[in-house]
Amino acid sequence: MRVSGQGAEEVVRRIGGGEARDAAQRIATLTRRTPLLTSRGLSEACGGQVVLKAENLQRTGSFKLRGAGNRIARLTEPVGVVAGSAGNHGQSLAYAARARGIPCEVFMPREAPVAKVAAVQAFGGIVDLSADSVDDAVARAIERAQETGAAFVHPFDDPDVILGQATLGLELLDDVPDLDTVVVPVGGGGLISGIAGTIKEMRPRTRVIGVQASACAAFPESLAHGEPEAITPRGATIADGIAVKRPGEITLQLVERWVDEIVVVDEDETADAMVWLLERSKLVVEGGGAVGVAALLVGAISPSARGATCVVLSGGNVDAGLLAQVAQRHEAAAGRRLRLFTRISDRPGALAALLTAIAQSGGNVVHAAHVREAAALHVRETAVEITLETRGPEHGAQIVAELIAAGYEVQRLDAAWPAG
């Protein structure tokens, strides 16, 4: 597909003319230069030099502030801004609008994460939660802009927004002298378009690879057909920040021109990457921001044999509850968290005896509950459901074996826990 259309041609021309540097100056006081972190663990696991661009540590917790800040800085007589967003774009636009002293309204899906809704409001944005999806939120925002005269700021399909995201590419070029591959999360395509355009202009041989979540991977099909096509999402996704059903008219053309490859990862792989970053790098990264690490960990992308592979961690705005669920799921899958069901005598001291037996086996009980209903019990019995931490699958199997040897009938409730 040939790059055509006024918007795509404008981005190509402006990046070629060095305007990403101008954008960097415009947003210098609004954004921060995020750190580049080495990752020995990821390098060893994947077999190459891997570094992490921690854009999850950007103000507002996402790269989106770059594009939103540049777009607002380019407004001549702003009466206000309006946008549709899953959360990160809305937060960034509200933050930038507050700095400019103009009102901001953000349309968000009904199922938008609570933390992201609260953040938009904390930055002074007015939130409307009437949309069914990100695409519906964008459509509603366009209508509101037409009604009020406010400037509509698209989350990705806008030349000024893309030029703002291109400033991240400049930082990579400045900070990674041997940059050979860049791995970028992809939703609507604004971030990867800006990064890829900047990098290909300066180092055309550097690989730029995009990663999408399998539940909402719109780019492969659209690239195959040569035009943006809406897909039906395959269920909910923890990568909500990149859950965009249809690529942009501009970004699809730029991705086709500049991006070398698009790969897809699934929900479990994304969740594992979130936990890996939390445990190994001490970084809180949302699902959409962790897909690049997921792609490396499962081998969907191989790091460069020569030079550095940089993974962009595009955002860190995740609800604490979801993060806890992901971590607990990982613990169960790794055999370090075990749920058991057993029966004990309904007499004083019986529960204490069970807990003592577990403690003597080295297990750490984190939750215990009597279950008197929905179980076939003798009148003098009670059931107990217990969640405990172990040192791993072998230790868990040892605890179960010792409980059985002590006379307890034990049933494992955690399907993710490996049989032993």
Q: Which of 39, 281, 314, 361 is catalytic?
A: 314
Q: Name the 3-class secondary structure at 300.
A: coil
Which alpha helices (DSSP H) does 259-409 contain, by range?
267-280, 287-297, 320-333, 350-360, 393-405
Tokens of 126: 């007015």
Residue 53 annotated as catalytic: no
Q: Which of 39, 53, 62, 64 is catalytic?
A: 64
Determine contact, residues 70/27, Cβ cutoff 8 Å: yes
Q: Is 169 left (phi over 0), alpha (psi -120 to 50) or beta?
A: alpha
Q: What is the DSSP letter of 154?
A: -
How buried is 59 (Cβ within 10 angstroms: 0-12 exposed, 13-18 middle, 19+ buried)? Answer: middle
Q: Name the 3-class secondary structure at 372.
A: coil
For the four alpha carbons of 210, 212, 214 and 216, in that order, the dihedral sign comes to: negative
Residue 314 annotated as catalytic: yes
Q: What is the DSSP letter of 263?
A: E
Determine contact, residues 329/271, Cβ cutoff 8 Å: yes
Active site residues: 64, 314
